[in-house]
Amino acid sequence: MSFTGKYELQSQENFEPFMKAMGLPEDQIQKGKDIKSISEIVQDGKKFKVTVTTGSKVLHNEFTIGEECEMELLTGEKVKAIVQMEGNNKLVAKLKGLTSVTELNGDIITNTLTLGDLTYKRISKRI
């Protein structure tokens, strides 16, 4: 199953408490909470390019399954990570105490971020 496509955020759960825990300033949290972000994923075999555009903020990460890479967090901090694939539709990354699980089911992509006992869930639809 290919992840390639553009996805628009449909809904999110626990945005504000999660972003506070990540250390994002209150003004950025308030600005970002109602913006429909667009994620664009390009998959070429085990190589991925992911661009998430939220208003004027653009987050760009590239990685190859199973290889160490540098990922940019929502805070702008860059951390080392290894992304693994489970089955043919789930990407799992562990970075600096944060676990990210991205699962593709048809035209719906669900991204669940876990930090300690806090979980932030984003559901996006292919456009």
The predicted structure's pLDDT at residue 114: 96
CATH number, position 60: 2.40.128.20
* The overall pTM is greater than 0.85: yes
Low-confidence spans in the chain with pLDDT less than 70: 1
The predicted structure's pLDDT at residue 97: 86
The predicted structure's pLDDT at residue 34: 82
For residue 89, the Cα-to-chain-centroid distance in whole angstroms is: 15
Residue range(s) defining the domain that contains residue 47: 5-126
Nearest to 102 by CA among 41, 37, 47: 41
Domain count, the chain: 1
The predicted structure's pLDDT at residue 119: 96
The predicted structure's pLDDT at residue 57: 82
